[in-house]
A and B are shown apart, each in its own frame.
Chain A
Amino acid sequence: MALTTHLAGLLEVVPFGEPACLIAPDGSASKAEGLEMPGDGELIELYRRLVTARRFDRLATTLTRQGRLAVYPSADGQEACQVGAVLALGPQDWMFPTYRETVALVTRGIPAVEALSLLRGDWHCGYDPVKWRTAPQCTPLATQALHAVGLGFAARLKGEVTAVLVFLGDGATSEGDANIAMNFAAVYDVPVVFFIQNNQYAISVPLSKQTRSPTLAHRALGYGIGGYRVDGNDVVAVREMVSQLLDEARNGGGPAVVEAVTYRMEAHTNADDAGRYRPAGEARSWVERDPLARIEAYLTGRGVLDQALRDDIAAAAARFASSVRETLNTDVVPDPASLFDHVYSRPTPLLVAEAALLAEEIGLAGEEAP
């Protein structure tokens, strides 16, 4: 047998089939090995969080159009990934988000105005990472995966029962740091779950130009750790799978890689034009796999979600959105003097001198104003 034939055989043998799914796109129940359908109460809660997430995400896009945010990378279509994964975390766990995970931050409980600081542009990170056990949103791709591994390693050395969840995108899996992080995590048996949202595009570049792996879960095999695929538009399957893997990690099971298959319904950010690289109609085919519609249909079909409850949940989400809008409509005036406060634990003589110069500059500008 030729060597190359052997490789083709190997790729077929590796058992990564369709992504695990508990609620099918049409709202019917589905089976996934090792995953159980939670009770109705939990499902209603997942639905409620998903409704809130979508409402928030759409509001953020609107606020960007109105000039209230500098930029916003939409999570439209990916809400189930972010809500499901975050709700799998325990209060002692840490998460490492990217710039696209503002929905994840809000789901974690971080006040929206703090979560939007980066994208509003008043500071790089608006929340206290230690308080929320949530690292600052990371922009240089995959670099945060190493921090997640380091933190998980530290937790393990301290004997804590803590797991770490790190968000990555499909494009980021090509970065060196993603691969180094998976390898370090495997070698040191770190309690970390690499949660890859495969939304099919890295800005404009489709997954087919990113990798020849049949799936992103295959990557895990090379590091000797578990790789899993989940339907990223099924909030229930995402929550169940990530919960289970975090739980195993906390109890010494080591790291895992999850590929959540989803789709970015909007462009990369408000500044991008997806029409330049995506075939017309492609996004429409994903509307049928919408994360919110399927759980709504499932719960309605089971008779646990009636019009009154739906209205209640929608009204609560609207109230949340309007409070966010109100806060974001208030102008924020960051203090230029604070630019020097957090470079070192104590300002160096150079910074003291520059702070004085800037203060003088601002003072002079104030005097010149009419």
Chain B
Amino acid sequence: MSVTMAEALNRALHDAMAEDDTVLVFGEDVGQLGGVFRVTDGLTADFGEQRCFDTPLAESGIVGTAVGMAMHGFRPVVEMQFDAFAYPAFEQITSHVAKLRNRTRSCLSLPLVIRIPYGGGIGGVEHHSDSSEAYYVHTPGLTVLVPAGAADAYSMLREAIEMPDPVVFFEPKRRYWAKADVELPLRTEPATRAVVRRPGADVTVIAYGAMVDTALEAAAAGVSEGLDLEVVDLRSLSPFDAETVAESVRRTGRAIVVHEASTFGGFGAEVAARLTEMCFHHLEAPILRVGGLDIPYPPPMLEEYHLPSVDRILDAVDALQWDDGAVTEPARGAAR
């Protein structure tokens, strides 16, 4: 069955609501309209306005209200319309959502999911294309998940809703319409586990969200150049499945971390640091980061220069000191 990621997410919400009366969906335009990306399409019609409803336009209010509802027996799944529009809810997320279990020594837990469509590549005008994951990953108490395709979108959202702890669920919006051949319902690997999407021997390319497909394209393009890239889909940024990734890097001896977010201070820096600590003696080259430029997200006509591309990934592969720093085409082939 061919389904888009948006349809898979919609089905996950639908199935979770059908299975558990305490699951509620609310946010801006999620009711009658079905969400600006149609991820909540039909939920109000199927479950009524008590289970899926529109809120006044205030993101802090959406998340803060969800906290109170989760304190009293519900499992809210709330939508932040776009990445940058989640910032008004930042205080609620960092000071309360992430901390309530801790503050109350587990007397209270918050089973709630904050869905954030994120990232660029859709020609959005400013404030519609941010990759804000690092802010949330840096907050203990939050689980941060990012599916890359339709199957994981379904399975990971179902799992997020079932978790006893709060989840920030990033949806790579440029992949909403990407089709995959999957039979729903299904369950993939546990959401907090990283998964090797393409085995390879030369370099581990670590990616998540929309960049997984870009990394796979780079791997396909690399074949003609004699490169065998392994692609790891992180899926969960926090907790970080260090073991799965380290196992891959120990095998290949080289690694690149790819994300859309600006490189400086990004999640890739954490991955690179951790892998260096864990695999230093297996590394043939420093771990490189391939990210967005360190600029505010550019206007649509310039975003192609900002976003990591197949070329930028392959250029980074070239720079992995294949021959004591000599970065040349023949050197790369000679390395193996």
Q: List A residues at the B interface (Cβ < 8 Å).
A: 123-125, 128-131, 135-136, 140, 143, 145-155, 157-158, 176-177, 180-181, 183-184, 187, 338, 341-345, 348-350
Q: Give Cα distance in the complex from A59 to B101, angstroms.
A: 30
Q: Is the CB of A150 within 8 A of B58?
A: no
Most buried by A among B56, B72, B92: B72
List residues of chain A with CB within 8 A of the CB of B300: none
Q: Which 7 A-B pairs have the closest CB atoms?
A: A150-B68, A146-B64, A154-B72, A151-B68, A150-B65, A180-B61, A147-B68
Q: Is the CB of A155 within 8 A of B106?
A: no
Q: Is the CB of B58 within 8 A of A124?
A: no
Q: Give Cα distance in the complex from A343 to B104, angstroms.
A: 10
- What are 21 A-B contacts defined by CB distance under 8 Å? A128-B104, A129-B71, A129-B107, A130-B107, A136-B100, A143-B91, A145-B64, A146-B60, A146-B65, A147-B64, A147-B71, A148-B68, A149-B61, A150-B68, A153-B68, A180-B56, A184-B58, A184-B65, A187-B56, A344-B101, A344-B143
Q: Is the CB of B68 within 8 A of A125?
A: no
Q: Give Cα distance in the complex from A180 to B106, angstroms.
A: 28
Q: Give Cα distance in the complex from A158 to B50, angstroms.
A: 10
List residues of chain A with CB within 8 A of the CB of B91: 140, 143, 177
List residues of chain A with CB within 8 A of the CB of B238: 348
Q: Give Cα distance in the complex from A349 to B193, angstroms.
A: 12
Contact of B108 among A129, A152, A338, A341 (CB under 8 A): A129
Contact of B64 among A124, A143, A155 (CB under 8 A): A143
Contact of B56 among A130, A148, A183, A338 (CB under 8 A): A183
Most buried by A among B55, B68, B102, B108: B68
Contact with A along B101-137 (1 / 0, CB 8 A): 1111111110000000000000000000000000000
Which residue on B lies nearest to A179, using beta carbons? B58
List residues of chain B with CB within 8 A of the CB of A154: 68-69, 71-74
Q: Is the CB of B107 within 8 A of A128?
A: yes
B141: Cβ under 8 A from any A Cβ: yes
- How many residues of B are counted as interface, with CB atoms below 8 angstroms from the partner's CB atoms? 45
Q: Give Cα distance in the complex from A187 to B71, angstroms.
A: 21
List residues of chain A with CB within 8 A of the CB of B100: 136
Most buried by B among A129, A342, A345: A342
B66: Cβ under 8 A from any A Cβ: yes
List residues of chain A with CB within 8 A of the CB of B102: 124, 342-343
List residues of chain B with CB within 8 A of the CB of A348: 238-239
Q: Is the CB of B104 within 8 A of A153?
A: no
Q: Is the CB of B61 within 8 A of A343?
A: no
CB distance from A47 to the nearest CB of B (A): 34
List residues of chain B with CB within 8 A of the CB of A176: 58, 60, 88
B242: Cβ under 8 A from any A Cβ: yes
Which residue on A lies nearest to B141, using beta carbons? A343
Q: Is the CB of A345 within 8 A of B66?
A: no
Which residue on A lies nearest to B67, using beta carbons? A147
List residues of chain A with CB within 8 A of the CB of B60: 146, 176-177, 180
B318: Cβ under 8 A from any A Cβ: no
Q: Give Cα distance in the complex from A123 to B61, angstroms.
A: 27
Q: Is the CB of B61 within 8 A of A184?
A: yes
